[in-house]
Amino acid sequence: MASLLRTTPTHLLRSSLVSSRRAALPFLQTRSQSNGPPLANTPVSNFKAPNAPSEEASALKDSNKPASFLGTTKRLPEFNLHGKVVLVTGAARGLGLVQAEALLEAGATVYALDRLAEPSEEFLRVQKRAAEELGTTLHYRQIDVRDVAGLNEIVKSISDSQGKLDGLISAAGRQQETSALEYTAKDANTMFEVNITGSFMTAQAVAKEMIRWGNGGSIAMIASMSGTIANKVHSLLPPPLLLPPPADHKSQGLICPAYNASKAGVIQLARNLAAEWGTHGIRVNTISPGYIATAMVEALFEQYPERKRDWPTQNMLGQLSVPQQYRGAAVFLISDASSFMTAADLRIDGGHSAW
């Protein structure tokens, strides 16, 4: 070998070594020639998610054997909510119901609490799907979160019947758009009773049961980006006389001082509950959505069409969110995927608050 090195020109030796490496590792040659991925990582066209394993497919047909494609032993098991009992307030419809369905898909047994005498038709669809497709159950309990005695009774009865309580998503809330100069004390107190005190008392009732069973748990409260920022609005006063008044100067933006204050309270409340209950293994976090295109907001756009035009321009993605975009956040916060996360605010607002 020494003589070969002494007698062979350097450029021929280098060429011989490269050729031998290419022969041993053909994917390197392919990559260098095509400047694309190696053969071992060829892109797959028309990719579709694989079917659930056969044992899960059969379990999905039996409501006594809950199954979940996501959360199996080989597929992100930390997201698995099988055997978990989770309460969701404000889940008769809207964002609360969408998040309840996500929890069901992850395998949880879900109890929806809402003040409506009857849940929405969409709720009935989700309830039917839970039993027939997801192998779990969705229940409904009517309660106003301001009824503290009734709330405690319902939460304890659920806990007793299930022998545990693992999670809560506090999504019950109230919104009212009124200028600060016109807000009444009665309306402001109602806002705070539902959004702050109602969330507080619900979390308290659930935490008592979690502590009673000694298994810890996770609580997620729905706050808002408006709990951190003041929504941009045009002046409610007419512009100077020298300038022509814009046609929409009184209606553009979102004017809800009590609501924003209540959501700020929810964020701070969660931090304090997390500090007190962490020793019991209870985590408390908040989700702060941006503008959501719900049925209620769509009706608002009919009254203020300029909002439908302008609101999407106020975030970095240039669009409004939909309730389905918060499904993953609910599962993440309730599951063990967020096991080291507490006293945090998960802001999902398309970058609105970061300008």
The arithmetic mean of pLDDT across residues 211-220, rounded, is 98
CATH architecture, range 71-354: 3-Layer(aba) Sandwich (3.40)
Q: Looking at 111, 259, 291, 326, which residue is catalytic?
A: 259
Q: Is the dihedral of CA 211, 212, 213, 214 positive or negative?
A: positive
Task: Tell me which residue of 100, 114, 89, 57 sits closest to 200, measured CA to CA.
Answer: 89
Q: Please tell me the predicted confidence (pLDDT) of residue 13.
A: 47
Return all residues near 20 (Cβ < 8 A) that are at least 6 apart.
Answer: none
Backbone φ and ψ for 288, nearest 5 degrees, come out as: -115, 95
Catalytic annotation on 291?
Answer: no
pLDDT over 70 at 153, yes or no: yes
Both tokens of 228, joined, read 């951190």
* Tokens at 138, concatenated: 């969705």
- How many other C-beta atoms can be found within 10 angstroms of the C-beta atom of residue 219? 27
For residue 66, which of 158, 131, 159, 111 has the smallest C-alpha distance?
Answer: 131
pLDDT of 57 reads 64
Between CA 197 and CA 266 the distance in angstroms is: 9
Query: Residue 227 is encoded by which pair of tokens?
Result: 């709990």
| Average pLDDT estimate for 29-57 | 54
Q: How many CA atoms lie within 13 A of 242 on its CB side?
A: 0
Nearest-CA neighbor of 154 among 193, 190, 122, 114? Answer: 114
pLDDT value of residue 28: 42
Q: What tens digit of pLDDT does each residue of 64-101 get?
A: 665 556 666 667 889 999 999 999 999 999 999 999 99
Q: What is the pLDDT of residues 222-259, one digit of tens each?
A: 999 999 999 987 554 454 444 444 444 444 568 999 99
Cα dihedral 221→227→229→234 (10° resolution): 120
Decide: 290 and 220 in contact? Cβ < 8 Å: no
Q: Mean pLDDT throughout 117-145? A: 95
Task: Report the chain's mean pLDDT, rounded to a whole number.
Answer: 84
pTM (predicted TM-score): 0.80
CA distances for 304 relative to 66, 297, 298, angstroms: 46, 10, 10
The catalytic position among 84, 111, 164, 263 is: 263
Beta-carbon contacts of 353 under 8 Å, excluding residues fewer than 6 positions away, are 225, 228, 229, 290, 347
Helix or strand (DSSP H, E) at 85 = strand 85-89
Residue 137 in 3-state DSSP? Answer: coil
**SS3 of 166, please?**
coil
Q: Are the C-beta atoms of residues 75 and 275 closer than 8 Å to each other?
A: no
CA distances in angstroms from 193 to 41, 189, 199, listed in the order given = 57, 6, 9
Domain boundaries, the chain: 71-354
Cα gap 101→91, rounded to integer Å: 10
CA distances from 43 to 32, 49, 74, 238 (A): 17, 15, 23, 59
pLDDT tens for 325-335 read: 999 999 999 99
259 is catalytic: yes
